[in-house]
Amino acid sequence: MDEPILDCLIVGGGPAGLTAAIYLARFHLDILVVDGGKSRALWISCTRNHAGFPDGISGNELLERMRDQACKYGAKIETEFVTKLERDKDTSVFTATWGSGCATARTVLLATGVANRRPPMDEELHDDALARGLIRYCPICDGYEVTDKRVGVIGSDSHGVAEALFMRSYTADVTLIAPDKALRLKPKDSEKL
């Protein structure tokens, strides 16, 4: 017998995908989350940027609680990496494939997050600094955590300039660090700095 068609397949089980799963499952929809298990949230030793946790929560614990909540309302979660996603032209049904299986769904929500470019440094030093909150990847999530502290922003182009300027809303001591030894600034970026 064929598997039933899901109402929604969510690709990605980080905070965004799990929030969607919680809501959609509470709408009594048939939901499956397929997650590769590499959420950037796992890197967070402590975040105070999530409602309900003013004293902070680790990314790992946050994801665990969100998975439990989604499952409580009927969402199913597979730890897999989707390798193929196709849409049938005639039926408009999606088919997702991964290592140990596949599923069909009427809709697909892509919540795959972003990939960071790690600074050029020893992996062990990086991981230790990350665990201690010395390296942070999300200025929106972590800006408040560095209020009035010295901050270095790694970047050598307009994006780095924008991040450095954003961080100025939290601290006056911001240094833009060009990892490739040369800032490549447009005149308008130089003016902004």
**What pLDDT score does 192 carry?**
87
Structure-block tokens of residue 182: 């040369």
Structure-block tokens of residue 124: 């062990």
Segment among 8-12, 18-22, 153-157 with least mean pLDDT: 153-157
115 or 165, greater pLDDT? 165
76 or 1, greater pLDDT? 76
User: pLDDT band for position 50 (50/70/90)?
Assistant: confident
Class of domain 123-192: alpha beta
CA distance 22 to 143: 27
State if pTM tops 0.85: no
CA distance 67 to 12: 12
Comparing CA positions, the residue from 87, 85, 36, 39 lying closest to residue 62 is 39
Q: Measuring CA to CA, how many Å separate 72 from each of 6, 15, 21, 69, 97?
A: 18, 16, 11, 5, 25
User: pLDDT band for position 1 (50/70/90)?
Assistant: very low
User: What is the fold of 6-110?
Assistant: FAD/NAD(P)-binding domain (3.50.50)
Q: Measuring CA to CA, how many Å separate 138 from each of 105, 110, 166?
A: 32, 20, 11
Residue span(s) of the chain under CATH 3.50.50.60 come to 6-110, 123-192
Helix (H, G, I), strand (E, B) or coil at 19: helix
**What pLDDT score does 181 carry?**
67
Q: Does 142 score more than 90 pLDDT?
A: no
User: pLDDT band for position 183 (50/70/90)?
Assistant: confident
Question: In DSSP terms, which residues pair with 107 in a beta bridge?
Answer: 8
